[in-house]
């Protein structure tokens, strides 16, 4: 008599499940999560499908969000040529810091209002350094919001498609998570306006293939350096002291 054999994916401990959920919320692709946690890719994929099935329905109309990025963004990352992924060719922001601003405005349930969010990104190291919103405003206030949000850049913001904004924001968060840095606490509230994280990331973060930390006025540089030394080793990152964030 033959015993019945069933094939079943191994159970995932709750702490690993929580880590999968956290990394996925920051935009990490499934294969990247599997490598970081030392799990088989099919196990991670199954957990992500289970989390998606148990999650509440996504907020409506994220695809309708309008987005803008700070001028010179393409000089801070390695990005492929994609339709609509344009830049102004000038960088009017804090030079050398790897800082990029992204803003998004999505339709509100009130027809004359918008929900707006903003993200300050360190695409070379720390990921999402700050997040703003969602702020509800009438449509006539959008220009003023953008003017104030991008005020530290001399050049005006560059209109961007949603897929570029998502790759920059979620990709920066995912890159920083791999270095041991969590996004700003307000990112949890501001992220949903962009919709789901991309399945794959085509943008490469860091500076010439390695983390580059430029200390800002509100950082704890010693804590950042300790984390980088633990994660990548003392000779595998660069450090610039005392650059302003605007």
- pLDDT confidence bin for 63, thresholds 50/70/90: very low
Residue 33 falls inside a structural domain: yes
Residue 9 falls inside a structural domain: no
Mean pLDDT of the chain: 85
Give me the mean pLDDT over the 91-117 stretch.
Answer: 85
Least reliable range by pLDDT among 54-63, 149-158, 205-214, 227-236: 54-63
User: DSSP alpha helices (H): ranges in the chain?
Assistant: 14-25, 30-37, 41-54, 142-149, 162-178, 187-190, 221-232
**66 with 50, same domain?**
no
pLDDT of 78: 94
**76 with 183, same domain?**
yes
**43 with 109, same domain?**
no
pLDDT of 213 strictly over 90 = yes
pLDDT of 219: 87
**20 with 127, same domain?**
no
Start-to-end CA distance of the chain, whole Å, equals 75
Residue 6 falls inside a structural domain: no
Residue 185 falls inside a structural domain: yes
pLDDT of 1: 39
Question: What span, in angstroms and rounded, lies between the C-alpha atoms of 124 and 163?
Answer: 20
**174 with 69, same domain?**
yes
**163 with 81, same domain?**
yes
**19 with 79, same domain?**
no
Residue 79 falls inside a structural domain: yes
Closest CA to 104 of 68, 139, 128: 68
For the chain, percent of residues with pLDDT exceeding 90:
57
Locus of tokens 């610039």: 240
Span 121-137, pLDDT tens digits: 999 999 999 999 999 99
Q: How far are the Cα atoms of 95, 154, 168, 211, 243 from residue 77, in angstroms, in the given order?
A: 13, 20, 9, 12, 19
pTM of the model: 0.75
Strand partners, 212: 238
What is the domain extent for residue 29? 14-54
Q: How far are the Cα atoms of 72, 158, 207 from residue 102, in angstroms, in the given order?
A: 12, 9, 19
pLDDT of 90 strictly over 90 = no
**102 with 156, same domain?**
yes
pLDDT of 11 strictly over 70 = no
- Residue with the bigger pLDDT between 71 and 110: it is 71
Least reliable range by pLDDT among 20-24, 44-48, 54-58, 196-200: 54-58
**42 with 77, same domain?**
no
pLDDT of 79 strictly over 90 = yes
Residue 224 falls inside a structural domain: no
Question: What span, in angstroms and rounded, lies between the C-alpha atoms of 204 and 138?
Answer: 36
**173 with 156, same domain?**
yes
**89 with 180, same domain?**
yes
pLDDT of 203 strictly over 70 = yes
Q: How many domains, in total, are found in the chain?
A: 2
**35 with 146, same domain?**
no
pLDDT of 60 strictly over 80 = no
Residue 235 falls inside a structural domain: no
Please list, in sequence order, all residues whose beta carbon lies within 8 angstroms of the beta carbon of residue 187, skipping any fewer than 6 positions away: 119, 128, 131, 173
């Amino acid at each position: 008599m033959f015993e019945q054999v069933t094939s079943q994916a191994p159970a995932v401990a709750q702490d690993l499940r929580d880590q999968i959920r956290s990394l996925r919320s920051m935009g990490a692709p499934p294969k990247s999560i599997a490598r970081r946690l030392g799990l088989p890719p099919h196990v991670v994929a199954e957990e992500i499908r289970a989390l998606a099935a148990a999650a509440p329905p996504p907020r409506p109309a994220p695809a309708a969000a309008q987005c803008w990025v700070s001028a010179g963004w393409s000089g801070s990352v390695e990005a492929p040529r994609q339709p609509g992924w344009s830049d102004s060719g000038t960088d009017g922001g804090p030079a050398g810091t790897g800082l990029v601003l992204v803003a998004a405005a999505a339709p509100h349930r009130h027809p004359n209002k918008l929900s707006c969010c903003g993200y300050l990104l360190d695409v070379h190291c720390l990921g999402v350094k700050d997040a703003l919103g969602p702020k509800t405003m009438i449509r006539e206030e959008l220009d003023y919001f953008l003017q104030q949000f991008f005020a530290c850049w001399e050049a005006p913001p560059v209109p961007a498609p949603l897929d570029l904004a998502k790759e920059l924001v979620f990709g920066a968060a995912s890159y920083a998570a791999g270095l041991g840095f969590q996004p700003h606490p307000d990112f949890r509230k501001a992220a949903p306006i962009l919709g789901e994280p991309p399945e794959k990331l085509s943008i490469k973060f860091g500076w010439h293939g390695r983390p580059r930390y430029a200390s800002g006025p509100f950082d704890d540089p010693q804590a950042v350096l300790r984390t980088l030394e633990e994660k990548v080793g003392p000779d595998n990152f660069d450090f610039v002291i005392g650059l302003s964030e605007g």
